[in-house]
């Protein structure tokens, strides 16, 4: 299964007016990184970067002046994602912007059936949270100290690591994790299962004659016989 772990940065929060200004994606094949990636900055036209958005990602209007428009990059984006699942953290936000850009170009939207939201996955797996990307990096021991600003490619790289860990580790497709080049072990969540009580005890399979014969045998072995440790008190005293 081919998946693209991706992220976007935008001029603001309203996909009806704001525009995508950066998109980055990491390709996974059966949950393994292939080394292929996609990263483009995008000129938003007349739409300016909102100061609040600038504080998050640091991408300025000046920096975007000479970048291609979404219309110029649209075919390239579609080609990279073609046949893959779209995987994003809080995918409702990112897909809202991607589909708004497609709509402006009269391109069909991405079907929700092709989208995986890692935020929804995290909330099911860790219902007590927090489940931001930074919090999940801390939970899974992923180094994100170099993430001083949001960036589409960097966030995609971090999310790819988080996603692989969330679905079961680096060999999630097999359910196995290698250790020091040696054996393998299965990865499972710890589950505590209470024992079930029988409605009535099982019928003993030993007859009284069997029990008597066994006790007589233990008595012949002497006091040091290992069996005497497990014999009934009456048998141990007889030995």
| Catalytic machinery residues | 150
DSSP 37-97: EEEEE-B-TTPPPPHHHHHHH---HHHHTTSPBHHHHHHHHHHHHTTSEEEETTHHHHHHH
Q: Is the dihedral of CA 184, 188, 189, 195 positive or negative?
A: negative
Cα–Cα distances (Å) from 164 to 11, 26, 92, 187, 200, in that order, read 30, 12, 20, 12, 46
Do residues 73 and 101 make contact, with C-beta atoms less than 8 angstroms apart?
no
Determine contact, residues 152/56, Cβ cutoff 8 Å.
Answer: no
Compute the distance between CA of residue 83 and CA of residue 1 in angstroms, rounded to an integer. Answer: 9
């Amino acid at each position: 299964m081919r998946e693209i772990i991706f992220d976007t940065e935008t001029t603001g929060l309203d996909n009806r007016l704001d525009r995508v200004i950066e998109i980055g994606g990491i390709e996974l094949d059966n949950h393994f990184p292939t080394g292929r990636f996609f990263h483009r900055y995008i000129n938003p036209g007349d739409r300016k970067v909102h100061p609040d958005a600038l504080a998050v990602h640091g991408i300025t209007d000046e920096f975007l002046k000479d970048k291609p428009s979404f219309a110029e990059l649209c075919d390239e984006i579609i080609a990279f994602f073609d046949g893959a699942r779209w995987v994003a953290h809080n995918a409702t936000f990112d897909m809202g912007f991607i589909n708004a850009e497609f709509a402006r170009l009269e391109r069909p939207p991405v079907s929700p059936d092709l989208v995986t939201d890692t935020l929804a996955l995290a909330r099911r797996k860790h219902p007590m949270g927090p489940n931001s990307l930074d919090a999940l990096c801390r939970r899974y021991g992923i180094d994100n100290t170099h993430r001083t600003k949001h960036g589409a490619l960097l966030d995609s790289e971090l999310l790819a690591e988080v996603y692989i860990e969330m679905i079961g580790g680096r060999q999630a497709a097999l359910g196995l994790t290698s250790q020091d080049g040696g054996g393998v072990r299965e990865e499972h969540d710890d589950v505590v299962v209470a024992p079930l009580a029988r409605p009535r005890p099982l019928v003993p399979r030993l007859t009284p004659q069997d029990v008597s014969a066994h006790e007589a045998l233990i008595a012949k072995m002497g006091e040091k016989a290992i069996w005497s440790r497990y014999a009934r008190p009456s048998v141990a005293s007889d030995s």
